[in-house]
Amino acid sequence: MNTSTATAPVVKSGLTAEQFIQKYANHPTYIPPRGPELNAKNWQAEAALRMFLNNLTDEVAEAPADLVVYGGTGQAARTPEDARNIIEVLLELEEDESLMVQSGKPVGKVRTHPEAPRVLIANSNLVPHWATWEYFNDLRKRGLIMYGQMTAGSWIYIGSQGILQGTYETFAACGDRYFNGDLRHKLLVTGGLGGMGGAQPLAATIAGATFLGVDVDPDRIKKRLDTRYIDKMTHNYEEAKQWVLEAKERGEAISVGLVGDIGDVLERLIADNITPEILTDQTSAHDPINGYVPNGLSLQEAKELRQQDPAKYKVLSLKSMARHVGFMLELQRRGSRTFDYGNNLREFAQQGGEANAFNIPGFVPEYIRPLFCQGKGPFRWAALSGDPEDIRVTDEALKELFPENTHMIKWLDEAQEKVAFQGLPCRICWLGMGEREKAGLLFNQLVREGKVKAPIVIGRDHLDCGSVASPYRETEGMKDGSDAISDWPLLNLMSNTAGGATWVSFHHGGGVGIGYSQHAGMVILADGTERAERCLRRVLHNDPAMGIFRHADAGYEAAQENARKFGLEL
């Protein structure tokens, strides 16, 4: 069945499924196709196919051989065989069919219709009584489940840029609140420079701060260096200290990546009487076994101990997190503006013996919730053409569409100059209620008029205003105490499915780990068609509206005012 209303003729690549796999998905080498030619039977399936492969390309993924995209264990598919099967189904998927994916394994197709999602994804979900890392890891060893993180298993991870503006917004909000909006001559220190934490150095320097980031894995820092997210790299603490202190004195926004253990580095900063103005962390603390590396172990020793004695590994990891947070608390007492960045470090530090771990506030209630009350969040898009010029066109079109949004315009100008693309060219900027719908319709028009060379994929992080229940992160400290109610992400999932998103997902645990969150993802295609326009109008209204519904119901006056402003009251 073909009901496409594309205005341009559809050109097929002519590759068989086997030829396609050999060219684009010969494990462990994955390459997203580029250009205007279709490999699948329609652009909806093609978009899912390209973004799936984009998640796994070595420019983007942490470990393509293991299908790990980011976060230590966050996968796009469960096994190489499952990845191949997903690709084969997407190549043949009709516009009245939808593929179902259960924790990275394609399990069936259902009869739907052209405005239904082409892919329905559920990752890492467990009945609450059994939602523990121990039970999950047993299932994973038996090949029954995978960890989808947030955007890894929903095929919309776009490299470090994906969290870049959200990180910038957080650092800028900290500057506004505590430093009169000026982070020059301010030192920001953090741990973790992986797939999510790797956005921190560039976000900090765009915000004007001097940055010191620490990671035990030199390859992670090297990747940020190669993609221009970080300016300098060293294995030497004294050298790093000299660089950042001199830059801070000059008011120079540079970023330094130091190979080392974050706990050890914080201990040395304390001994040297150096108190950073801002302190946070994005180590892989959501997973005490497969993410965090205990103090005193090399990467190889950690890898071996994980396999030989995971129970011992977890004990060491929790003790190290407690030590790590203990140093953060000491720097907080000395004056550092210290906050948790949503990796569940506080909870596991508390389990490891640091009773005061939650004296460190979370970043959402501290800085981001006012944006959520406006329906604002991480709106991202990818140019399926593979041509960076298409992103430049969308950037300029958005600046013309929202001339009064000077904050967004400044961000896009900075991003054009400083952000290196990973995989398919992509962009992110935080947009709110009303803005997302207008932006999506604009992109659809650009495709229809041929101003970009291929369709545009629009998505977002699961960390959004109305898509997640995470009591130690996005929904921490809700005004009405509704932190742990996960009806909201389920309603988000259902509204985006009913509205006609191109693919949808529902995950458990992303960001903070098994047992601690549930969240929904959404991706929608702008392919220039009337069908796409109808879906964009619904989805890009419903999705941010969920954030306003959620926060208005919790009693936030700003959200209630926005509900009235946008006609969202019952």
* Per-residue pLDDT reduced to its tens digit, 272-290: 999 999 999 999 998 999 9
In the chain, the domains with their CATH numbers are 11-70+77-141 (no CATH), 161-361 (3.40.50.10730), 368-565 (3.40.1770.10)
Angle between helices 435-448 and 388-401 (to 10 degrees): 130
Q: Residue 7: its pLDDT value, please?
A: 45
Cα 243 to chain centroid distance, Å, stands at: 30
Question: Which amino acids are annotated catalytic?
Answer: 429
Per-residue pLDDT tens digits for 16-38: 999 999 999 999 999 999 999 99
Query: What is the C-alpha to C-alpha distance for residues 447 and 81, in angstroms, rounded to an integer?
Result: 34
Q: How confident is the model at residue 5 (pLDDT cuts 50, 70, 90)?
A: very low
Contact 230, 213 (CB under 8 A): yes
Question: Could you give the dihedral angle defined by the CA atoms of residues 69, 74, 77 and 78, in that order, rounded to the nearest 10 degrees?
Answer: 140
Please give the angle made by the CA atoms of 409, 415 and 418, to the nearest 5 degrees.
140
Contact 538, 57 (CB under 8 A): no
Answer yes or no: is pLDDT of 1 > 70: no
Indicate the annotated binding residues for NAD(+).
71-72, 149, 195-197, 215, 220, 282-286, 292-293, 341, 511
| 455-to-12, 425, 443 alpha-carbon distances in Å | 15, 12, 8
Q: Please provide the size of the chain in residues.
A: 570
CB neighbours of 430 closer than 8 A, spacing ≥ 6?
165, 166, 169, 371, 376, 377, 378, 379, 408
Answer yes or no: is pLDDT of 566 > 50: yes
Rounded to an integer, the average pLDDT of 350-358 is 97
Contact 53, 25 (CB under 8 A): yes
Indicate the annotated binding residues.
71-72, 149, 195-197, 215, 220, 282-286, 292-293, 341, 511
What are 105's strand-pairing partners? 102
For residue 383, give the H/E element and its range: strand 377-383
What are 523's strand-pairing partners? 459, 503
Per-residue pLDDT tens digits for 480-510: 999 999 999 999 999 999 999 999 999 999 9
Answer yes or no: is pLDDT of 69 > 80: yes
Contact 391, 383 (CB under 8 A): yes
Contact 227, 160 (CB under 8 A): yes
Contact 157, 194 (CB under 8 A): no
If one counts every other C-beta atom within 10 angstroms of the C-beta of residue 202, the result is: 27
For residue 38, give the H/E element and its range: strand 37-38
HSE of 421, CA atoms in CB hemisphere, 13 A: 17
